[in-house]
Structure 1
């Protein structure tokens, strides 16, 4: 039974989502305000958070940052009525792993949650990938470059591990979205671009000697990405 935290101020939507998620076998805690949700996340383990960005007491982006700080391993899915691309990018950079734009189709939401929880449950492979001086330790979910550890969020790690599993191979956007997020994904893949940008910043910012070989994520315009040894 997965522990889910629902943060939604609309009573009608909250009741529907809580009932649907509970009927799917999840343990759901529902809070209508951001501060109460943060307090709960600070004291109880959470597997996945459904977070409405339009909250009455505190901006959902701030809630996302603070929940991510206390629950680094959980999945955060934003529920947003904001259609502007920049709003979505800000939310993803604040720590969210995924997003859905309201009005939300219940079937799509439940499928997305199942996909995220399935990936979390099966993430314990013992295999490690070594590319140059980059080591992706899947068993311990740790990444080091030249012996220096890099802290990655859940989906950042999953994406890097997928790229590292086939170094030098061109992987399409659709394939990466299916393997890291959801096999039934459709619509915008902006979340992929944001996570790639975050990975690049973290790989490039690690303090190591110039002799350390740091792989780079190459953009294949109109197709996808490839991890290649620098």
Structure 2
């Protein structure tokens, strides 16, 4: 039975999630403070964490930073009322796997949890992806262009990985949102364009082609 850590200081919300997840067949544990959430997340007893940002003692961004800094790859879905683009990007840059705004529908949260659990259970991919002079090491999450190492955030690496796996194919913004962010993001958001800009700065502007009205393509 998969076990999920719920980190939220609002009893009404944590109780609602706890009850729903138990009914769906998950084991659960609730943490009401940031320090408790971090301590429990580091025990390796859980398969996923639902993490609120506004936690007492240590906010969700700091919990996530400490967790990733320890080397933990525990899947994290951030659940918060802070849904501005800069907050969303900060969550993904910090290593969040998904980001859901409040108010939310439980069925949507459950669907995202199941998608993330399937992703974690997927077979291991090839250790290295190569396209021209661009190399991505899947195991170490490192990127290299020619003779130079390039530091990418977790979300930038995931976007680069998706592009290189579909090299020379045009991918729409919707496809990139689905494959990189794992769900149908707000179609009005420009988060894909923002991250494409980041990759162009780090990998070379000429490497990623804009196909006007369609999407983006990694070129040779």
TM-score band, normalised by the shorter chain? 0.7 to 0.9
CA contact (8 A) 2:177 2:185 kept: no
Asked if residue 106 in structure 1 is aligned to residue 97 in structure 2, the reply is no
TM-score by length of 2: 0.80
Equivalence for 2:134: 134
Asked if residue 173 in structure 1 is aligned to residue 170 in structure 2, the reply is no
Indicate the SS of the match to 1:177: helix
In structure 1, what is the Cα distance between the partners aligned to 2:52 and 2:95?
Answer: 14
Equivalence for 1:121: 121
Asked if residue 89 in structure 1 is aligned to residue 93 in structure 2, the reply is no
CA contact (8 A) 2:208 2:216 kept: yes
Q: CA deviation at 1:83?
A: 3.6
Evaluate the alpha carbon distance shift between residue 142 and residue 81 of structure 1 in structure 2; reply closer, same or farther with a 3 A threshold.
Answer: closer
Q: CA deviation at 1:147?
A: 6.7
Equivalence for 2:58: 58
In structure 1, what is the Cα distance between the partners aligned to 2:127 and 2:206?
Answer: 19
Asked if residue 216 in structure 1 is aligned to residue 215 in structure 2, the reply is no
Q: Deviations over 1:139-179 (max 9, x none)?
A: x4644414766676665444322211121221101112223
Equivalence for 1:43: 43
- Structure 1: where are the runs of 5+ without partners? 205-213
Q: CA deviation at 1:126?
A: 3.1
Evaluate the alpha carbon distance shift between residue 98 and residue 195 of structure 1 in structure 2; reply closer, same or farther with a 3 A threshold.
Answer: farther
Equivalence for 1:226: 217
Indicate the SS of the match to 1:74: coil
Indicate the SS of the match to 1:129: strand
In structure 2, what is the Cα distance between the partners aligned to 1:46 and 1:151?
Answer: 29
In structure 1, what is the Cα distance between the partners aligned to 2:214 and 2:162?
Answer: 16
Equivalence for 1:208: none
Evaluate the alpha carbon distance shift between residue 20 and residue 142 of structure 1 in structure 2; reply closer, same or farther with a 3 A threshold.
Answer: same
CA contact (8 A) 1:141 1:157 kept: no
CA contact (8 A) 1:21 1:28 kept: yes
Indicate the SS of the match to 2:42: helix
Equivalence for 1:187: 186
Evaluate the alpha carbon distance shift between residue 3 and residue 141 of structure 1 in structure 2; reply closer, same or farther with a 3 A threshold.
Answer: farther
Evaluate the alpha carbon distance shift between residue 74 and residue 223 of structure 1 in structure 2; reply closer, same or farther with a 3 A threshold.
Answer: farther
Q: CA deviation at 1:51?
A: 0.8
In structure 1, what is the Cα distance between the partners aligned to 2:202 and 2:46?
Answer: 26
Q: CA deviation at 1:196?
A: 4.3
Indicate the SS of the match to 2:56: coil
